[in-house]
Amino acid sequence: MPTGVALRDPRRQLFDAAERVLARDGATGLTSRTVTTEAGVAKGVLHRHFADFDAFLTELVLDRIAGVEASAAVLRERAGTGSVTGNVTDALVTGFGPAMVSIVTLVIARDELRRRLRAAGTARFPLVGEGAAVISGYLTAERDLGRLAPDADVDTLAPTVIGAVHLLFTERKDAPPDPEAVRKVVATVLAGALL
């Protein structure tokens, strides 16, 4: 590997490489070597920017959580427009994917990663918890606008829809589920709450 070549954003390059490895090889295929090889950099680059591989993984997950949390504002802006089912479906189809599902698997599989994420203040179930909070916030806005029943339990509906859709994505290794299949699950979960 050549040395002395300036990298524009080595952290981003390594994170993107890790997502590609996760999407292709799953959590078991993710090592510091596979990440640096995928990124096209020397192994030392990862260790120059992160104390160890678990520190890298922690920062990767925190970066993805920040992306999930940033999507909250976009989704809330859609409150009162389109259909509630359509808005939730679009958010989940966009937010889930092979790499995201593999990151959740990675968090489940690595005790040290979970410990570090909890120390960083993440949800009890990192990524999934933050995703549920985004959906809950959106459903609360829709309930406040009168598009959901006043007694709709958004704090139960949100993790229920997240879990059900997550199962759709984990059952398909080669391609994500059809958006219509996701919409059907979302519509079923929200059916009793929609006005």
pLDDT at 4 over 50: no
107 and 27 within one domain: no
**Residues 135 and 172 placed together within one structural domain of the fold:** yes
| Predicted TM-score of the model (pTM) | 0.88
CATH (domain of 45): 1.10.10.60
Q: Where are the alpha helices (DSSP H) in the chain?
A: 10-25, 32-39, 43-49, 53-77, 84-95, 98-109, 111-119, 128-144, 154-170, 179-190
- pLDDT for position 117: 96
Is there a single domain that holds both residue 164 and residue 108?
yes
With 80 as the cut, is the pLDDT of residue 175 above it? no
Q: In this structure, is residue 195 part of a structural domain?
A: no
Q: Tell me if 1 is assigned to some domain.
A: no
119 located within any domain:
yes
Give the pair of three-digit tokens for residue 172. 């398909």
- pLDDT, mean over the chain: 91
* pLDDT value at residue 2: 47
pLDDT of residue 1: 44
Q: Does residue 106 lie in a domain region?
A: yes
Task: Assess if residue 2 is contained within a domain.
Answer: no
- Look at the chain and report how many structural domains it folds into: 2
Q: The domain spanning residue 64 has which CATH number? A: 1.10.357.10
| Whether residues 106 and 181 fall in one domain | yes
Q: Are residues 33 and 103 in the same domain?
A: no
Residue 166 lies in a domain: yes
Tell me: do 108 and 66 sit in the same domain.
yes
Tens of pLDDT, residue by residue over 73-86, are 999 999 999 999 99
Q: In the predicted model, is pLDDT for residue 3 greater than 60? A: no
Do 45 and 58 share a domain, yes or no?
no
Query: String of b and e for 166-186 (b: at least 16 CB within 10 Å)?
Result: bebbeeeeeeebeeeebbebb
Q: Answer yes or no: do 134 and 41 share one domain.
A: no
Range of the domain at 38: 7-49
What digits encode the pLDDT tens for the residues 147-167?
999 999 999 999 999 999 988
pLDDT at 172 over 80: no
